[in-house]
Amino acid sequence: MLSTTFVLLAGLASAYGAALQRRVTCPTGEQTANAACCALFPVLDDIQTNMFAGDTCSDAAHTALRVAFHDAIGFSNTQNFGTGADGSILLFGETELAFDANLGIADAFNLEVPFIKKHNISVADFIQFAATVSLTRCPGILQPPFMFGRVDATAAAPDNTVPEPFQTVDQILARMADAGLSASDTVALLASHSIAGADDVDPTLSGLPFDSTPSIFDTQFFVETQLRGTLFPGSGGNQGEVESPIGGEIRLQSDSELARDPQTACLWQANVNNQAHMASTFQAAFLKMGLLGQDVSKMVDCSDVIPTPPPLAAAAAAAFFPPGLTQNDVESACADTPFPNLPTAPGAAATIPQIVQSPLTAGDCDDDGEGCNFATFA
Ligand code: HEM
């Protein structure tokens, strides 16, 4: 359950309210609740201007979000390893980028390392801060809170901490639980796949979106993963990929199975056409994820540094069946409640375009580790 995080969120909200009366003015001129947060404004200014320049919830934002998960999940409550959201994925990139599940994280190395080197905050904080700011490029997201003060890793996380798309629901939920994330947290976090795509699952195609609206944090991902799969965006037959319902869209086997498994099907369906539910459960679970393995009592609430996300009009948040598809195409799996009735979008079935790749994610660091200047952090 998310209850501890909701308590934390409520605490943050009241602390934020109290802090409004005693704000400090930073050397850069901005105001914030706590002087420690002043260190974040130059970072914010730099990444907004240069790292996410022109990125309206596209490749750079998606890359920054994914690496935050892959870093944080390197933690175990039962096996005594990892310090979670500790920067190890980049600090110990020579080890962690070689793990199968981290295929494509080289993009994040290319994107973030030049900026990390310019600023004097921990790598751990940079990764979660950049991900939090990346969310604010995405219409539909609720204002994300941010806690500051993570301690950097002193060792790499071990292999097999990041779930793989070909693993069973039991395996994925067990790994997430071991890190401190419940089944409902997991489904809540997978709302991130509504603003995401795959560059490496089909090795012949990059930027394949997981839903028809990969630059909007809306509930279409939960609608479209419940529709019968009929085609592959490319040749198909790739590990971790199953058929999707729309041309150009890729479906992960893990998302398909989480949508249909009795343990998670109703949690999944609860997001369909319920923007408020999806946004609030994601907000809480994302906060929790970014604190894994870290000592929250030593951290500072810097939520007021985070920019305001763009709004999503109610009409734009209304879920729909893609053109040509109807309720008959739903593979309903929640035993408790029928799948919501949705209108079919007008027009002919269209192929969803690939997500345009940012030049900033395509630097010298390749997926095979060639060209990555790991000595950066030595
Ligand atoms: C729990 C099981 C999960 C599995 C099996 C999984 C698997 C994957 C895979 C295979 C990709 C495609 C990578 C590529 O080929 O480029 C992907 C992309 C992505 N995932 Fe996940 N994921 C999971 C959870 C999460 C979570 C919890 C988050 C964030 C909170 C997340 C955020 C993303 C994002 C943003 C992308 C797009 C990255 C980009 O476009 O560069 N995923 N995921």
Q: pLDDT-derived band of residue 5, with 50, 70 and 90 as boundaries?
A: low
Residue 242 dihedral angles phi and psi, to the nearest 5°:
-125, 170
Tens digit of each residue's pLDDT (9 = 90 or more) over 233-258: 999 999 999 999 999 999 999 999 99
Has 88 been labeled as part of a binding site?
yes
Grade residue 19 by pLDDT with cuts at 50, 70 and 90. very low
Q: Whose CA is nearest to atom 41 of ligand 1?
A: 63
- Ligand 1 centroid–CA 137 distance in Å is 18
Q: What is the pLDDT of residues 63-106, one digit of tens each?
A: 999 999 999 999 999 998 889 999 999 999 999 999 999 999 99
267 Cα distance to chain centroid: 18
Ligand 1 geometric centre to CA of 328 (Å)? 29
- CATH class, domain 3-377, is mainly alpha
Q: Is the CB of 200 under 6 A from ligand 1?
A: yes
Please name which of 316, 283, 145 lies closest in space to residue 215, comparing C-alpha atoms: 316
Mutate to test the pocket of ligand 1, among 193, 239, 281 (most ligand atoms within 8 A of CB): 193
pLDDT tens column, 253-301: 999 999 999 999 999 999 999 999 999 999 999 999 999 999 999 999 9
Ligand 1 contacts CB of residue 189 (under 6 A): yes
Q: Name residue 156's amino acid.
A: A
Q: What percent of the chain has pLDDT over 70?
A: 94
Residue 119 bears catalytic tag: no
pLDDT score of 2 more than 50: no
Residue 60 Cα to ligand 1 middle (Å):
14
Write down the pLDDT at residue 11. Answer: 59
Does ligand 1 come within 6 angstroms of the Cβ of 209?
Answer: no
> Ligand 1 in contact with 57 (CB < 6 A)?
no
- Kindly give, in sequence order, each residue whose CB lies less than 8 Å from that of residue 238, ignoring residues fewer than 6 positions away: 201, 202, 203
Mean pLDDT of the chain: 94
- Residue showing tokens 């939960």: 222
Q: Give residues with Cβ within 8 angstroms of 269, minimum separation 6.
A: 222, 226, 259, 332, 333, 334, 337, 339
Indicate whether residue 165 lines ligand 1 (CB < 6 A): yes
pLDDT at residue 26 tops 50? yes
Percentage of the chain exceeding pLDDT 90: 90
What is the value of pTM for the model shown? 0.96
Is the CB of 82 inside a 6 Å radius of any atom of ligand 1?
Answer: no
Is residue 51 predicted with pLDDT exceeding 90? yes
47-61 burial: b if 16+ Cβ within 10 Å, else e:
beeebbeebebbbbb
Write the pLDDT tens digit of every residue in 99-133: 999 999 999 999 999 999 999 999 999 999 999 99
| 329 annotated to bind ligand | no
Q: Which of 62, 70, 119, 277 is catalytic?
A: 70
Quote the pLDDT of residue 10: 60
The residue extents of the domains of the chain are: 3-377
Instruction: Reply yes or no on whether the pLDDT at 15 is more than 60.
Output: no
CA-based torsion, 12, 17, 21, 27: positive or negative: positive
357: three-class secondary structure by DSSP: coil
